[in-house]
A and B are shown apart, each in its own frame.
Chain A
Amino acid sequence: MDTQSLYALTALFDTPDDVVHAADTVASAGYTKFDVNTPYPVHGMDRAMKLKPSRLGFFALAFGLLGAFSAVGFISWVAVVDYPLVIGGKPFWSWPAFVPVSFELTVLLASVLSVVAMIVIYFKFPNNSHPLHDTPYMRHVSSDKFGICVLATDPQFEEATVRKLLASLNGKDIAPVYYVFDDINHGQSLFDPKFIAVLVLTAAVVSGATYVTFNKLLFIEPFTWMSDQPKLKAQKPSSLFNNGIGMRGAVPGTVARGSLPYAFAGKPDTAAAYLVNPLVPTEEVMKRGREKYLTFCSPCHGNVARGDSRLRGQFPNPPTLHSDKVRNWPDARIYAVITDGQNVMPSYASQIPRDDRWAIIQYVRVLQRSQNPKESDLK
């Protein structure tokens, strides 16, 4: 059965002069679907075949510009918008420092993508099932001969004419090449199942490896050796010390920085007798007192010291500070309560510095005055 379909008629040439002349003649004769196969590029062949100049340079320019703009754009976004950091005292958009990375990305994209574009778009590679493969013709042109093949799909193709033409041009070994198994090769599709499979596999492997590295591997020895170091860290237990606690307490007799002795611990009335409020009721002192009062005292005592605090029900409410008793206390007596604590109220000495305590007391006086105003105040 005649199942073989003709792909092309091929001829071999011995010298570069012959093949260039032949290509020129074939092209001038009007054939468009023909090709020349040479083991290396022969000078002048492009002109002889009347080929249009390669447009690959535009691809390179386009990819290069893409690389340049996307690099500068991305780096600028990172440095100015997303996470601006002052590095070396330079402004956020320090363009001279962006140049090296942008340059590299320009070159990378332009070079690699141009080659990929050439291979995929121009060559339509990889393609190992082309009719010319594994033919004697291919073996010769791979090595030391030059060849021309005129495709059967050329509109002017007529086997006898072409054969005569090639013979007249010094063509040797004029032979037909057939499609194998009538397998007409299509162009490459982006959705080729094998290609998609490779992409999916690569994606799976990379994601998997990244996930495993960052979520599992780092927690396995010896990769934990750097994060779990056998050194003492605060708040870790330790077998070295008797009480099993890594953190050591202060040596008895250690004095905190800036601390001063308080002579009236547990003796509020003595404190009342001897201490005097050093702060004058200026606006600044009042503001400070107000701020500290609202921060430390108001949770229990309420915003205006009535004892109606927000913590009603969770702690026993303190008595109002507007009672006659408290209003008649000297400032220092209140100071002693803040410093020592009283009944359920703990000592606030470690939280409120001394001057702030006096400022709070000034403010409490203001509050007391506000709840028991005189006639003259209301004018």
Chain B
Amino acid sequence: MSTAVVEYTRELPVVEGNPRASDIEAVIAAPLDQFPSRTWWIAFGVTTAMLGIGAFCVLVTLLYGLGVWGVNQPVSWGFDIVNFVFWVGIGHAGTLISAILFLLRQRWRTGIARFAEAMTIFAVMCAGVFPLLHTGRPWLTLYLTPYPNQHGVWVNFTSPLLWDVFAVSTYFTVSAVFWYLGLIPDLATLRDRTANKIKKLLYSIFSLGWRHSNRHWQHYERAYLILAGFATPLVLSVHTIVSFDFAVSVIPGWHTTIFPPYFVAGAVFSGFAMVQNVLVVVRQMFNLKHIITLDHLEKMNKVMILTGSMVGYAYGMEFFIAWYSGNQFEQFVFLNRALGPYAWAYWTMVTCNVVSPQLFWFKKVRRSIPAMFAIGILVNIGMWFERFVIVVTSLSRDFLPSSWGYYTPTVYDVGILLGSFGLFFTLILIFVRVLPVVSISEVKAVVGGAQPTRH
């Protein structure tokens, strides 16, 4: 019998091997009770070193001002904004996995949702550093919030930069609440199985006293659905508002109506690449291959083809409409991107974003760990370069040739980018030792035999 019949008439199990609930709990909770391995310490050393370099560069920036960066006229937004958009984009995959896949009733999300949500929160934290720093005087950030101040002035509610403040803070808050809500039952389970007094105290506090009561589960599930229902338009709105930073201007290459869905698709694309990369490592290190299965990774790769194609569609539309418009400034932008001084960035972007994900059409590539890992890295590089191309090329050459200029990042720009990766991975490494990376209760609920048989 061909395997096709098995796939269609039977539902594929979400967790392989049909483990018992107590086995699931044991394997997920194991890292929390063990001393970290040597590999973990080496990794932690590397990431904290990166973080340290970044911190040093941030310190220099704060002491001497933004002049130590490469931004100037005409390119007044450089690595700072490119990195901001990049990290916010990475965060979107987490919300998509936990919220949107939940609404679509895709049970395979249970193994990866917790980790993805944590990555969202960490990515948004990394992203938030950049707008704060790029103001020059981050200790005055409070002025961004509308409170009655001694100047008698309010913030400008019609500015997309302010919309960003509200969008990213809301995104961070709601993601954190959603993530925490999912953690409550797991923290209660950990509270009930730990012997360590300090851990028990901490788990008790943070689980709020959860008793696994079904009267509570009823409201809990409704709250989860409500949060998923709100988080979905929220995640679309956040990267849409980030795209508004560019699209509300009149700069050719920036002012184009397709930016909102294009940015959202791109964010999901890069986010999934990052999540897939990290999960490949995590499932290997913590023996979670039967919970984070190859099928799940394959599905994530399929999402990458889908969103990568959307990004490709947007590239095509921009190009076509630039020609169709007959607007010479618009047309020049695209010629300049491909042939001008930043052509190296443009072609890197096209190769990594449009060409490399096409390999995922082949099942063998989709199910090969080394191949998907490599493609994931290429996609991340490509998506970073996409933001670079959008931000920098349009600014470096716009309407008036006498205003053209070339932007070169300084060592501090690169150091802060490196530091942001350091921060991200350090937080992940701490997360895997302190909290369960897979949602224990959700996975228990989807193994075979977990739910009553229907009568």
Asked whether any CB of A lies within 8 Å of a CB of B in the complex, the reply is yes
* Distance (whole angstroms) from the CB of B64 to the closest CB of chain A: 8
Whether the Cβ atoms of A94 and B223 lie closer than 8 Å is no
Within 8 A of A (CB), among B212-228: 212-223, 226-227
Whether the Cβ atoms of A127 and B139 lie closer than 8 Å is no
Kindly supply a per-residue 1/0 record for chain A positions 208-243, scoring 1 wherever the CB is within 8 Å of any chain B CB and 0 otherwise. Answer: 001001000110001101100000000000000000
* Distance (whole angstroms) from the CB of A64 to the closest CB of chain B: 8
Say which one of B151-159, B281-289, B345-353, B413-421 lies at the interface with A.
Answer: B151-159
Say which one of A114-122, A195-203, A259-267 lies at the interface with B.
Answer: A114-122
Q: Does A133 contact B (CB under 8 A)?
A: yes
Whether the Cβ atoms of B237 and A103 lie closer than 8 Å is yes
CA distance A146 to B158 in the complex (A): 54
Whether the Cβ atoms of B22 and A108 lie closer than 8 Å is no
Q: Which of B162, B181, B221, B233 lies in contact with A107, CB distance below 8 A?
A: B233
Q: Which of B158, B181, B212 lies in contact with A88, CB distance below 8 A?
A: B158
Whether the Cβ atoms of A123 and B219 lie closer than 8 Å is yes
CA distance A38 to B152 in the complex (A): 55
Say which one of A41-49, A246-254, A298-306 lies at the interface with B.
Answer: A41-49
A38 / chain B contacts, CB cutoff of 8 Å: 212, 214, 217
CA distance A112 to B234 in the complex (A): 13
* Distance (whole angstroms) from the CB of A86 to the closest CB of chain B: 11
Total number of A residues with any Cβ neighbor in B under 8 Å: 74
Kindly supply a per-residue 1/0 record for chain B positions 130-158, scoring 1 wherever the CB is within 8 Å of any chain A CB and 0 otherwise. Answer: 00000011010010001000001110111
B230 / chain A contacts, CB cutoff of 8 Å: 60, 107, 110-111
Please, which residue of chain B has its CB at the minimum distance from the CB of A226? Answer: B137
Q: Which of A35, A42, A213 lies in contact with B215, CB distance below 8 A?
A: A35
Whether the Cβ atoms of B154 and A82 lie closer than 8 Å is yes
Q: Does A368 contact B (CB under 8 A)?
A: no
Q: Does A51 contact B (CB under 8 A)?
A: yes
CA distance A339 to B222 in the complex (A): 87
Please, which residue of chain B has its CB at the minimum distance from the CB of A16? Answer: B452
A104 / chain B contacts, CB cutoff of 8 Å: 163, 166-167, 170, 234, 237, 241
Kindly supply a per-residue 1/0 record for chain B positions 241-256, scoring 1 wherever the CB is within 8 Å of any chain A CB and 0 otherwise. Answer: 1001000000000000
CA distance A16 to B451 in the complex (A): 6
B218 / chain A contacts, CB cutoff of 8 Å: 41, 46, 51, 54
Whether the Cβ atoms of B212 and A57 lie closer than 8 Å is no
Q: Does B174 contact A (CB under 8 A)?
A: yes
B174 / chain A contacts, CB cutoff of 8 Å: 107-108, 111-112
* Distance (whole angstroms) from the CB of A132 to the closest CB of chain B: 5
Q: Does B204 contact A (CB under 8 A)?
A: yes
Q: Does A126 contact B (CB under 8 A)?
A: yes
Say which one of B7-15, B69-77, B333-341, B439-447 lies at the interface with A.
Answer: B439-447
Q: For the complex, would chain B's binding face be called helix, strand, loop or mixed by DSSP majority?
A: helix
* Distance (whole angstroms) from the CB of A125 to the closest CB of chain B: 4
B211 / chain A contacts, CB cutoff of 8 Å: 37, 130, 132-133, 138
Please, which residue of chain A has its CB at the minimum distance from the CB of B216? Answer: A123
CA distance A88 to B160 in the complex (A): 13
Whether the Cβ atoms of B208 and A126 lie closer than 8 Å is yes
Whether the Cβ atoms of A143 and B25 lie closer than 8 Å is yes
* Distance (whole angstroms) from the CB of B29 to the closest CB of chain A: 10
Q: Does A345 contact B (CB under 8 A)?
A: no
B210 / chain A contacts, CB cutoff of 8 Å: 125
Q: Known interface pairs A40-B441, A119-B208. Does A143 touch B22 (Cβ–Cβ under 8 Å)?
A: yes
Whether the Cβ atoms of B214 and A105 lie closer than 8 Å is no
Within 8 A of A (CB), among B371-414: none
Kindly supply a per-residue 1/0 record for chain A positions 67-92, scoring 1 wherever the CB is within 8 Å of any chain B CB and 0 otherwise. Answer: 00000001100110011010110100
Whether the Cβ atoms of A123 and B208 lie closer than 8 Å is yes
- Among B162, B219, B450, residue most surrounded by chain A Cβ atoms (within 10 Å): B219
Q: Known interface pairs A40-B445, A101-B166. Does A111 touch B157 (Cβ–Cβ under 8 Å)?
A: no
Whether the Cβ atoms of B21 and A144 lie closer than 8 Å is yes
Q: Which of B136, B153, B156, B173 lies in contact with A108, CB distance below 8 A?
A: B173
Q: Does B58 contact A (CB under 8 A)?
A: no
CA distance A200 to B450 in the complex (A): 46
CA distance A119 to B209 in the complex (A): 11
Kindly supply a per-residue 1/0 record for chain B positions 174-190, scoring 1 wherever the CB is within 8 Å of any chain A CB and 0 otherwise. Answer: 10011001000100110
Q: Known interface pairs A42-B452, A111-B177. Does A142 touch B192 (Cβ–Cβ under 8 Å)?
A: yes
Q: Known interface pairs A40-B442, A40-B445, A111-B230. Does A118 touch B212 (Cβ–Cβ under 8 Å)?
A: no
Whether the Cβ atoms of B21 and A39 lie closer than 8 Å is yes
Q: Known interface pairs A79-B157, A111-B177. Does A118 touch B241 (Cβ–Cβ under 8 Å)?
A: no
Q: List 29 A-B contacts (CB under 8 A).
A: A37-B214, A38-B212, A39-B212, A39-B444, A40-B445, A49-B215, A51-B215, A54-B218, A56-B223, A56-B226, A57-B226, A100-B166, A101-B163, A104-B170, A107-B174, A107-B230, A110-B226, A119-B208, A126-B208, A126-B209, A127-B208, A127-B209, A128-B209, A132-B211, A143-B192, A213-B139, A213-B142, A225-B63, A225-B65
By a beta-carbon cutoff of 8 Å, the part of chain B in contact with chain A is: 20-22, 25, 62-63, 65, 136-137, 139, 142, 146, 152-154, 156-160, 162-163, 166-167, 170, 173-174, 177-178, 181, 185, 188-189, 191-193, 204-205, 208-223, 226-227, 230-231, 233-234, 237, 241, 244, 441-442, 444-445, 449-453
Known contacts A100-B237, A222-B63, then 16 further A-B pairs from the complex at CB < 8 Å, ordered by chain A residue: A17-B453, A39-B189, A40-B450, A41-B214, A54-B222, A101-B162, A104-B234, A107-B237, A108-B173, A110-B226, A111-B226, A119-B208, A132-B211, A138-B212, A213-B142, A217-B139
By a beta-carbon cutoff of 8 Å, the part of chain A in contact with chain B is: 15-17, 20, 23, 35-46, 49, 51, 54, 56-57, 60, 74-75, 78-79, 82-83, 85, 87-88, 90, 94, 97-98, 100-101, 103-105, 107-108, 110-112, 114-115, 118-119, 122-123, 125-130, 132-133, 138-139, 141-144, 210, 213, 217-218, 222-223, 225-226
